[in-house]
Structure 1
Amino acid sequence: MSSINQSSVSEFLLLGLSRQPQKQQQLLFLLFLIMYLATVLGNLLIILAISTDSRLHTPMYFFLSNLSSVDVCFSSTTVPKVLANHILTSQAISFSGCLTQMYFLSLFADMDNFLLAVMAYDRFVAICHPLHYTTKMTHQLCVLLVVESWVVANLNALLHTLLMARLSFCGDNIIPHFFCDAAPLMKLSCSDTHLNELVIFTVVGLVLLSPFVCILVSYILIAFAVLRFSSTGGRWKAFSTCSSHLGVVCLFYGTIIAVYFNPSSSHSAGRDMAAAMMYTVVTPMMNPFIYSLRNRDMKGALRKVLTMRFPSKH
């Protein structure tokens, strides 16, 4: 951590919104605010509905409530800072604040990744081994899977944060983004970043690809199992239970791939910011809508919560 003291840069400037014309800045500010409020409200309603409806006390909804909690934290890591900077007409973020933001971004992105994989496994057991579902997906196993996800995500985020903290930043402190990410920070460093890059390609590759492979294998096995169903109604029911999760998976991984797996020559600050906005703001906002609109039990639980919160005067 002594490397931090040797750095001549004490703060960074996040120029994500300030690079736009004034009218566009105001529109983007309003858009960020609306999406953030929708994210927080939607995910909190999901958590409340699951906790108050005993019919939803199942592994699938246990994982969904955890995903909603992570999504609220994920958006809260970036959006409030963007809104505060716009109101205060300041783009500054301290060195320690930047590293802290990077740590929590990595933590919650990893948790989203792991939880989507765990939910895919839950759907696999429910559809491919329905008779053994209750004995396989016990409460103890569900808690263990979530705790293990938190441990691995914390270790991964801590590793990248400590590696970033050892770098020196000598002059340029302008980040053409609305949050602190590893790639733009390494570009500003005057230290050797080969170790950081190696760890990102190996560890992040494993952390990102392992859950993705788990999801892929789970849904290939689910597809084979569904095709063996004799009744059309059974196939449709199986597809319906997976469609919401598949929608969230496609949205999450699609935006991640757009940001990190495109050729660098095709990148521009505007496109990178739009893609990053998709997975840090839009995806957490859309998850509650995707799960509630295609889920009859969830819609019923949400109606119950809303009528409980806004009772009639009679």
Structure 2
Amino acid sequence: MFLFFMLTFLKLAQNIKRKTAMSSVNASFSQNISIVRPEYFFISGLSGIPYSSYYYIFLFVVYFISVIGNSVVLLIIAVDRSLHSPKYIGVFNLALADIGETNALIPNMMKTFLFNSQYISYNGCMANMFFVFLFNSIQSFTLVALAYDRFIAICLPLRYHAIVNNTSMILIFLAIWAFNSSVVASMVSMITRLSICKSNVIPSYFCDHGPIFRLACNDIKINEFFAFFISILYLTMPMVIIALSYLNIFLALIKITTWEGRLKALKTCVSHLLLVGIFFLPLLCTYIAQVLLALTPNARVISTSLSYAIPPMLNPIIYVLNTAEIKYIIRKLFKRRLRSVSDNISK
């Protein structure tokens, strides 16, 4: 974690140093012009990738599985009262954020493939940026909340129901939505104060924050700070909190005298650990590779787009395969459906 923080800090320091020489020019320039906003942006991220049509087909499959899988998880948790518990409130919130991010990200990418249209209006671009970052931040904080749930359940089992209940978890997630909406809205508002006069071509696969503010002619120090702040808030800090939670969980597991008890407690964390791994590790590896290896634009676009698109597809699969309650309910609903079909046929 310290290495990641240092890499991020060094990159920010290099960017600020490189632009210090032009700061006075930018300041005087920004004082003498009105805000320039292009009518449209051109998203060029996937246009230079060889055999990109195959990648679009893959994204369509990812989109279909993500929407169907997360919708099934939402429906099962909503209709079955036995799943109305703090843990599954968190799973419900994660599935909701997964669907939101998938719909904010992939349909715009598919539009390029189906209609050969890479243009997006200025207001549409700001909305796209807001929703992609909002739902991604909700995913990050939801994984932290689920780590908190596991920490209390294993480290403080006798006090679990007093500390963690449906009301407290609902309040936590309402606070998460409100806080992240405010932060992301502030980030987008800092973009709207910029004059985009270098170009209207965004070298990314969606209306990404960094590539857009670098197209501005006026001072972008506050935008660079927001980029640094967002990476710490939604990547470094959640990983540190989750790591500390599981350090305490593993210390608590050591105190359990029997292997059966340890395995039973650890089994309740498997699904969450898998979700944490598939969400944070690709983003972390991509960021480190971009800082240390200077990825080519095509490699950066592919790696980051996969880092955003794959977790929402895998999350419902992981929970269905690793959660006995959900598998039981799916089997029960399937048997009920088969029984209904057979009764109709017999009539």
TM-score bin, normalised by smaller chain: over 0.9
Using the alignment, how far apart are the partners of 1:5 and 1:60 within structure 2?
51
Q: Extract unaligned runs of 5+ from structure 2.
A: 1-31
Are the counterparts in 1 of residues 271 and 319 from structure 2 also a CA contact under 8 Å? yes
Partner of 1:38: 65
Q: Distance in 2 between matches of 1:173 and 1:259?
A: 25
- C-alpha separation between the residues in 2 aligned to 1:245 and 1:191? 44
**Match of residue 179, structure 1, among 185, 199, 206:** 206
Instruction: Choose 1 or 2 for highest CA Rg.
Output: 2
Q: State the distance in 2 between where 1:50 and 1:137 align.
A: 18
* 1:210 corresponding residue in structure 2: 237
Pairwise CA distance, 1:119: 0.3
* Corresponding residue number in structure 2 for 1:199: 226
C-alpha distance in structure 2 between counterparts of 1:88 and 1:171, whole Å: 27
Distance 1:5-1:240 versus aligned 2 partners, 3 A rule:
farther
Deviation at 1:250, TM superposition (A): 1.3
The 2-side partners of 1:302 and 1:270 are apart by 41
Q: What CA distance in whole angstroms lies between the structure 2 residues aligned with 1:307 and 1:6?
A: 62
Contact residue 197 and residue 216 of structure 2 kept, 8 A: yes
> Residue type of the partner of 2:104?
T
- Distance in 1, matches of 2:136 and 2:33, equals 25
Secondary structure of the structure 1 residue equivalent to 2:41 = strand
SS in 2 for 1:152: helix
Report the Cα distance in structure 2 between the residues aligned to 1:270 and 1:283, rounded to whole angstroms.
21
Matching residue within 197, 218, 238 for 1:170: 197
Written as runs of structure 1 = structure 2, the 5 A alignment for 1:1-314 is 6-7=35-36, 9-21=38-50, 24-202=51-229, 204-262=231-289, 263=291, 266-308=294-336, 311-314=340-343
What's the CA shift for 1:265? 5.0
The answer to whether the 8 Å contact 1:258/1:275 transfers is no
Cα 1:38–1:306 change in 2 (3 A) is farther
Q: By how many angstroms is 1:56 displaced?
A: 1.5
Q: Does the 8 A contact of 1:256 with 1:279 survive in 2?
A: yes
Distance 2:129 2:251 in 1: 40
TM-score by length of 1: 0.92
SS at match of 1:7: coil
Distance 1:118 1:8, change over 3 A: closer
Q: CA RMSD for the aligned pairs?
A: 2.0
Instruction: Decide whether the 8 Å contact of 2:99 with 2:312 is kept in 1.
Output: yes
Q: CA deviation at 1:202?
A: 3.0
CA contact (8 A) 1:164 1:196 kept: yes
- Post-superposition CA distance 1:155-214 (Å, at most 9, x none): 110111000111111142222221111111122222221111012223542344333222
Residues 4/249 of structure 1: CA separation in 2 closer, same or farther (3 Å cut) = farther
Distance 1:4 1:132 in 2: 61
Distance 2:85 2:330 in 1: 16
The question of whether the paired residues in 2 share the 8 Å contact of 1:175 and 1:185 is answered with yes
How far apart, in 1, do the equivalents of 2:68 and 2:49 lie?
Answer: 28
Q: Does the CA contact (< 8 Å) of 1:17 and 1:28 recur in 2?
A: no
**Post-superposition offset of 1:54:** 2.4
Question: Separation in 1 of the partners of 2:72 and 2:151?
Answer: 27
User: Quick check: 2:101–2:136 contact (8 Å CA) kept in 1?
Assistant: yes
Q: CA deviation at 1:111?
A: 0.6
* SS class of match (1:190): coil
Q: How many Å apart are 1:306 and its aligned residue?
A: 4.0
Amino acid in the other structure paired with 1:98:
C
**Are the equivalent residues in 2 in contact too, given 1:244–1:294 (CA < 8 A)?**
yes
CA-CA distance at 1:35 after TM superposition: 0.5
Structure 1 contact 107–154 (Cα < 8 Å) conserved: yes
Structure 1 unmatched ranges of 5 or more: none
Tell me the CA shift for residue 5 of structure 1.
Answer: 7.3
CA separation of 1:12 and 1:309: change in aligned 2, threshold 3 A: farther
Q: Name the count of aligned residue pairs.
A: 310
C-alpha distance in structure 2 between counterparts of 1:12 and 1:59, whole Å:
43
User: 2:20: which partner in 1?
Assistant: none
How far apart are residue 114 of structure 1 and its match?
0.8
Contact residue 46 and residue 302 of structure 1 kept, 8 A: no
Decide whether aligned partners of structure 1 residues 308 and 220 sit closer, same or farther in structure 2, where only a CA change above 3 A counts.
same
Q: Percent identity?
A: 31
Q: Which amino acid aligns with 1:18?
A: S
**CA distance in structure 2 between the aligned counterparts of 1:273 and 1:78, rounded to whole angstroms:** 13
Q: Is the 8 A contact 2:48 2:298 kept in 1?
A: no
